[in-house]
A and B are shown apart, each in its own frame.
Chain A
Amino acid sequence: MDVLLQQILNGLILGSLYAMVALGYTMVYGILELINFAHGEIVMLGAMVAVSVLALLTALGVPVPLALLAALTAAVAVCVATGVLVERVAYRPLRNAPRLAPLITAIGVSIVLQNLAMIFWGRQYLSFPPVLDIQIYEFAGATITNVQILIVAVAAVTMGGLLLLVQRTRLGRAMRATAQNREVAGLMGVDVNRVIAATFAVGSALAAVAGLLIAAYYGIAHYNMGFILGLKAFSAAVLGGIGNIPGALLGGLLLGVIESLGAGYIGDLTGGFLGSHYQDIFAFFILILVLIFRPSGLLGERVADRA
């Protein structure tokens, strides 16, 4: 087995999931200059809802494709509703407040959502029902499963759809205009509040899909899975250049690969002192390096370019 190729492959799969979550951070940041720390919790909600619905429906004997579709739909509905509600209730009243206020509010919202999930689902891990027969394919010395292929395919289609939305539609153009100059967007007749709500809705829908895929990838969902995931995706967004959509894609994929390679080789690098369960440190190590050496990220614009 080719270990290097395998690690890169694993990294890209994981990275496509990070990228989907990073997109939510970057879109909201782009339009409001707000780091929506509650976004990781939206992903968690998506995972929990998807796993619960899937478990329930498959137990009732609903055919797997239908159950998956229903789980996805339910996750998207819950996440979009929550994301839009959070914006309306927690962030909009603070739109013109000093920047620290919405940031602290975001952390508060994150804690609230986590606790609500804990009350509703309990502290135990929910396991993703074994609805898919896993098949393993081998090529060039590396292996990949059908589930992994499905994950990457869904992630690619979803993110492709997002790019089309942002680049090619009227709503997407209004989003970009609002991000670049909110007042002037209003002068053009854009209902800025609706565009901001739509941005939260789109980011939350992506988070829902990501939540389902992440639960499928790890086989479990848990009420506090959103915390570390959110921090990693945020790191990926910063790595790519926060506010920049292609940057979030690139940052997510890179972070996945770095983490995967790091986990594979950290034992060798430290003479066996640190094991692969230390893989989480890479995201934060990268975050720190980026913030020190290139705060605008790989693809981020220099601040002077912003209107």
Chain B
Amino acid sequence: MSGPTELLLEVRGLAVHYGGIRAVKGLDLEVREGEVVCLIGANGAGKTTTLRALAGLAPSTGSIRYAGSEIAALPVHRRARLGIALVPEGRGIFPRLTVAENLDMGAYTRNDRVGISEDLERVYGLFPRLKERQAQTGGTLSGGEQQMLAIARALMGRPRLLLLDEPSMGLAPLAVEKIFETIRLIAAQGMTLLLVEQNARLALAASRRGYVLEGGRIVHQDQAPALLASPRVRAAYLGA
């Protein structure tokens, strides 16, 4: 153990391939308890694949240590039960379940009724729009509302590590604003976050540290302000 807070996630030599295509080629990263870390990179760099491997959706090799134990061999639902929540790219709303049922699914592994209803009030407080729409099916929501629902649903599981894959993708500027405001709020309340974004400026502004992914490898890592100031990062990802 090193540093002031404990390592929650420690990844060593993570590799994923799809048939002959190597999408992630031996990647190391770590996230401390309570930290917000982002993973930035161009389209196709391997960001989604990395998060899917961490959640157990993509078969991978290498070591994934989480909360002190090796989880690389565990199936997806066991990792979920350990407190790893992924808000997937494209949001993954259950289209024919209502908003309330989607949120219920987020709490699937829990049976503390009181805690669940407290958390339900909490996420309705974060996203009042969802409360208004609780009886509507997920498929009828707008893109921004679906993203809110996906984040709220993940929070309903009381995760210890929240993985967010491109929460701003395909949303109107106002909705992006709202989503990132909520992300900062959740982070301020102490949630540990690993955030993937193509919108590097937004992601770095919300994070403490960042990794830059290129062609399935980490090519750069630093504190977020340093990355924001780095000429290389500015040229490649910040359009400056």
Find out whether the CB atom of B77 lies under 8 angstroms from the CB atom of A186.
yes
24 A-B pairs, CB-CB below 8 angstroms? A173-B97, A173-B104, A173-B105, A176-B94, A176-B101, A180-B94, A180-B95, A180-B96, A183-B88, A185-B105, A186-B57, A186-B77, A187-B55, A187-B86, A188-B77, A188-B105, A188-B108, A188-B153, A190-B105, A301-B96, A305-B95, A306-B95, A307-B94, A307-B95
Assess whether A154 is interfacial by the CB under 8 Å rule. Answer: no
User: How far, in Å, is A224 (CB) from chain B's closest CB?
Assistant: 38
**Which single member of B81, B85, B97, B108 contacts A180 (CB below 8 Å)?**
B97
Q: Mark A173-192, 1 if CB is under 8 A from B, else 0.
A: 11011001101111111111
Assess whether B157 is interfacial by the CB under 8 Å rule. Answer: yes
Contacts of B108 in A (CB 8 A): 170, 173-174, 188-190
Assess whether B224 is interfacial by the CB under 8 Å rule. Answer: no
Assess whether B109 is interfacial by the CB under 8 Å rule. Answer: yes
Find out whether the CB atom of B106 lies under 8 angstroms from the CB atom of A183.
no
Contacts of B109 in A (CB 8 A): 188-189
User: How far, in Å, is A179 (CB) from chain B's closest CB?
Assistant: 9
Contacts of A301 in B (CB 8 A): 96
A176 to B105, CA, bound (A): 10
Q: Which of B76, B86, B104, B157 has the most CB of A within 10 A?
A: B76
Q: Mark A185-201, 1 if CB is under 8 A from B, else 0.
A: 11111111000000000
Contacts of A186 in B (CB 8 A): 56-57, 75-77, 80
Find out whether the CB atom of A191 lies under 8 angstroms from the CB atom of B77.
yes
Assess whether B93 is interfacial by the CB under 8 Å rule. Answer: yes
User: Which chain A residue shows the least CB distance to B84?
Assistant: A187
Find out whether the CB atom of A190 lies under 8 angstroms from the CB atom of B77.
yes
Assess whether B92 is interfacial by the CB under 8 Å rule. Answer: yes
A306 to B139, CA, bound (A): 9
**Which single member of B93, B97, B106, B157 contacts A176 (CB below 8 Å)?**
B97
Find out whether the CB atom of A183 lies under 8 angstroms from the CB atom of B92.
yes
Q: Which of B81-117 contact A (CB under 8 A)?
A: 81, 85-86, 88, 92-97, 101, 104-106, 108-109
Contacts of B86 in A (CB 8 A): 187
User: How far, in Å, is A187 (CB) from chain B's closest CB?
Assistant: 5
User: How far, in Å, is A303 (CB) from chain B's closest CB?
Assistant: 12
User: How far, in Å, is A287 (CB) from chain B's closest CB?
Assistant: 25
Find out whether the CB atom of A187 lies under 8 angstroms from the CB atom of B76.
yes
A190 to B81, CA, bound (A): 9
Bin chain A's interface residue count. 20 to 34
Q: 4 other contacts beyond A187-B80, A305-B96, with CB at 8 A cut-off?
A: A176-B94, A188-B157, A306-B95, A307-B139
User: How far, in Å, is B12 (CB) from chain A's closest CB?
Assistant: 23
Find out whether the CB atom of B139 lies under 8 angstroms from the CB atom of A184.
no
Given contacts A189-B77, A190-B108, contact A177 B97 (CB under 8 A): yes
User: How far, in Å, is A157 (CB) from chain B's closest CB?
Assistant: 26
User: Which chain A residue shows the least CB distance to B95?
Assistant: A307
Find out whether the CB atom of A176 lies under 8 angstroms from the CB atom of B96.
yes
User: How far, in Å, is B43 (CB) from chain A's closest CB?
Assistant: 21
User: Which chain A residue shows the least CB distance to B154?
Assistant: A187
Find out whether the CB atom of A187 lies under 8 angstroms from the CB atom of B139.
no
User: Which chain A residue shows the least CB distance to B55?
Assistant: A187
A180 to B94, CA, bound (A): 6
User: How far, in Å, is B63 (CB) from chain A's closest CB?
Assistant: 22
Q: Which of A186, A190, A301, A306 has the most CB of B within 10 A?
A: A186
Contacts of B57 in A (CB 8 A): 183, 186-187
A170 to B56, CA, bound (A): 23
Q: Which of A130-185 contact B (CB under 8 A)?
A: 170, 173-174, 176-177, 180-181, 183-185
Contacts of B76 in A (CB 8 A): 183, 186-187
A173 to B108, CA, bound (A): 9
Find out whether the CB atom of B92 lies under 8 angstroms from the CB atom of A187.
yes
A207 to B104, CA, bound (A): 31
Contacts of A192 in B (CB 8 A): 77
Q: Which of A197-211 contact B (CB under 8 A)?
A: none
Q: Mark B148-168, 1 if CB is under 8 A from A, else 0.
A: 000001000100000000000
User: How far, in Å, is A295 (CB) from chain B's closest CB?
Assistant: 19
Contacts of B139 in A (CB 8 A): 305, 307
A180 to B102, CA, bound (A): 11
A170 to B97, CA, bound (A): 13
Q: Mark B41-73, 1 if CB is under 8 A from A, else 0.
A: 000000000000001110000000000000000
**Which single member of B88, B97, B157 contacts A189 (CB below 8 Å)?**
B157
